[in-house]
Structure 1
């Protein structure tokens, strides 16, 4: 029994010890785990990194294995892209080399523009005109434009109309025309009750006794070299027909005899436009028209400083034949010589035709321009160029049309603005751009084996380059020193020249940038043709032209590359 109890006690104690030991071991493990978290994280991170490195090595090995087996088409494509890039770079480099001396030459023209303008030889006649203009301007304020028109009308054997309110020196300007007449001057003020005898002379009593209806014309309009008629639109029907014949045909019917009238120029003045239709024909006889306004507020001080004595002295100097530079002989034959020796370029002709279309079709109300007026305007431009010492009518001469092609005074500024805008646009050479686009299309469609066609395309590209280079140099010369061609123009007043230069200078600068860009594109095409560059490379070099070629070309010519 005692042995049995002892045995049970030992068994219980052993079980308790084992249980206690197991519990202690679990607690120790638990404490050990909670007391070392950092070490466990590092071990995990290290294992992950090793795993990633192993994957990377595996991928690298796979990539190397793949590259060694890359398809041939990919290799060829890479090589082709490299060749295209090389060709594109070569063309661009060559274009830069060719463009640099051209632009430097244009800059040289610009920097020497003022010197070139002053070195230009001016004829003896143009110098006389400058001196005469300066003398005619003495004692007048803000009438430099009217003085120039007065002389220009005389050289053209045309007539000048001065239109404006009373007290604006219209009569004074007209009287100064007598400076180069040497006594053959006629002046009259018309009223609604004026009779023909006031202009054409009284009837001859001796002639009436002989049953002849003739007038004593000596000292009257039929024998005058120059004339000034104030309030000319007061002319009545009894005067009108004979006056029209004198103004246009330079003829006068005296009895049964038709005589030639030596009239060089007649200046008409009026405070108002003609009111009746019967005066429209008389109005159209005045090729040059000028609206005479009051002196501006900025120049009013200069006007007030003028004394009557200074005006009298100026008039005396003008009438002094020794001081006045122009003689009656200087006006003889100028119109005929100008028409024979002066040429009118197509740009001027196109401008005039487009201007008339604009005035008659797009203006409201329409501005009527008769065929006779347009023909006489061309002659006027010839005379303006000839007397300015030039043999070719300049585009800038067309600014004078602002004094020719208007019916109402406010329309003069409209004509001038249109001409200025057109002059700036003409410098953009749109036609050359169209030709270049067409040439690009032909180059893309051409057969690479056709040597003759390739040579022709290259020749045309070089021709366009020469045109653009010339245009760029001309534009550079025109803008040098603030458009010097305007400043030295004998028939444009300083105020007119300054206004035109201020308007044209920014337009010309913009046009020059467009010309330079167009020239660069032309050189690109020329170099591409020289190097026989493939069309797909030209498409990268000139993307805008390629896009236009794709849009406008026939479908068989613009298939995507690779399908032909």
Structure 2
């Protein structure tokens, strides 16, 4: 069940990143079971509560201490309640009223709880929130923003339903992890089994990832362009893929900073030292305010991951260098300087082509081997991107061939007739646009290449 596969992966990623996750969907879709299983995996203290419009702070944060009240102190007994939980599941989270909201916001974001006059740190690793519907009042916007990952959950598919009913709704399956190189499942509740993830992994993975993983400028630019697309009434000039997002989607600075950190965790746990542009696919679970916006984000990412705006810039650069080459024929000093510039462009294109081949080689490993994409989700992404990457590969190869041709011609100080024969399209374009005085050495404006002949 791909949807369930992706849902579980996002839950684990949220916990490793120290973030909270929100599930939105109808009752009976195992949202609470996800929280319980995460708690068992973390071997932590678990807290679960269903909120209603009549819920009071005592239900989440613990009752007031009667003995403390006798001493004029306002202290809660937090044992067994949210302030002492490692993993928590709160159903109908948006039923939280104003009496609960402020304390909950501080606890979620800063991991701090004010108990009387003392502010204490809470061990909360991840809060799994659930709701049947989106928040409707503005006072809940801050709470909604605390959930970095958001996931729409549905009923299982027909095939998944048969599997679920066949194993008793999942009761026949132990909470388990598959060890690399072994067969079968191992129960994490079995003390004889060494768990694949320890408390140390959950406590320190984010910190280690932030120190060890680089975020390249191309990824940062992609994220910035996506927010511009989501928030602006029209995208910047030059973005011809999608003009605008209607209605605009607000994305807070805090969400973007946390999103980058989460992608660093995704890269680190995948054994990489750099965030890949394909890690940005996780943004479809982060930046939306309403579920239908997730598909718009997904479509934008697919279009922009496969596009190469830098190739168009290199085309302009090659045009300029070709014009300078024609203008400086017979000038060895100018030609030598130009050879170096053409070589730099060649090296850039070789690296770009290597990146395209690396992405496509072996069935798109950058996507199919991504730890945080479900199998069917990864297959859908690969199917969408591969044809576009194939087109990009052909464009890079064609441009590289022209650049290498120009470099060889310059190194051998070729004459104009040879340049015109080997690069007829560039030559014709230059002839069409060059000033008349530049064309006089070659016979004036009437010159044109045609099948190796000059007229």
* Length-normalised TM-score, structure 1: 0.71
| Alpha carbons of structure 1 residues 163 and 515: separation in structure 2 relative to 1, 3 Å | same
Match of 1:480 in 2: 361
Match of 1:405 in 2: 287
- CA offset at residue 381 of structure 1? 1.0
Match of 1:304 in 2: 165
Q: C-alpha distance in 2, partners of 1:438/1:226?
A: 60
Alignment of 1:82-101 (within 5 A): none
Q: C-alpha distance in 2, partners of 1:401/1:284?
A: 14
| Alpha carbons of structure 1 residues 281 and 431: separation in structure 2 relative to 1, 3 Å | same
* Length-normalised TM-score, structure 2: 0.87
Q: C-alpha distance in 1, partners of 2:428/2:264?
A: 45
SS of 2:128's equivalent in the other structure is strand
Greater share of helix = 1
Match of 1:363 in 2: 245
* 2:115 corresponds to 1:227: no
* 2:57 corresponds to 1:196: yes
Q: C-alpha distance in 2, partners of 1:487/1:154?
A: 23
Q: C-alpha distance in 2, partners of 1:268/1:552?
A: 63
Match of 2:412 in 1: 531
SS of 1:173's equivalent in the other structure is helix
Deviations 1:303-328 (A, max 9, x none): 332215x5254248354455442111
- CA offset at residue 534 of structure 1? 3.7
- CA offset at residue 549 of structure 1? 4.4
Deviations 1:326-349 (A, max 9, x none): 111112221121111111112111
**Greater RCO (CA < 8 Å, at least 6 residues apart):** 1
Q: C-alpha distance in 2, partners of 1:364/1:311?
A: 44
**Which blocks of at least 5 consecutive residues in structure 1 are unaligned?**
1-139
SS of 2:79's equivalent in the other structure is coil
Deviations 1:342-361 (A, max 9, x none): 11112111111111111112
- CA offset at residue 537 of structure 1? 4.3
Alignment of 1:95-114 (within 5 A): none
Comparing 149-158 with 321-330, which one deviates more in the overlay? 321-330
Alignment of 1:422-437 (within 5 A): 422-426=304-308, 429-437=311-319
Alignment of 1:90-489 (within 5 A): 142-308=3-169, 310-311=170-171, 313-315=173-175, 317-320=187-190, 322-323=192-193, 324-361=195-232, 362-426=244-308, 429-446=311-328, 448-451=330-333, 453-489=334-370
For the 8 Å contact 1:154–1:265, the answer to whether it is kept is yes
Q: C-alpha distance in 2, partners of 1:553/1:245?
A: 66
Q: Which of residues 512, 515, 519 in structure 1 aligns to 2:396?
A: 515
SS of 2:158's equivalent in the other structure is coil
Deviations 1:73-117 (A, max 9, x none): xxxxxxxxxxxxxxxxxxxxxxxxxxxxxxxxxxxxxxxxxxxxx
For the 8 Å contact 1:180–1:328, the answer to whether it is kept is no
- CA offset at residue 468 of structure 1? 1.6
| Alpha carbons of structure 1 residues 311 and 557: separation in structure 2 relative to 1, 3 Å | farther
For the 8 Å contact 1:428–1:511, the answer to whether it is kept is no
Deviations 1:159-200 (A, max 9, x none): 101111112111111221112332422111111111001111
Deviations 1:358-397 (A, max 9, x none): 1112111111111111111111111110110000111111
Computing the radius of gyration over CA atoms, which structure comes out larger, 1 or 2?
1
Match of 1:15 in 2: none
Q: C-alpha distance in 2, partners of 1:254/1:558?
A: 85
SS of 1:421's equivalent in the other structure is helix
SS of 2:363's equivalent in the other structure is coil
| Alpha carbons of structure 1 residues 298 and 428: separation in structure 2 relative to 1, 3 Å | farther
RMSD (Å), alpha carbons? 2.3
- CA offset at residue 454 of structure 1? 1.9
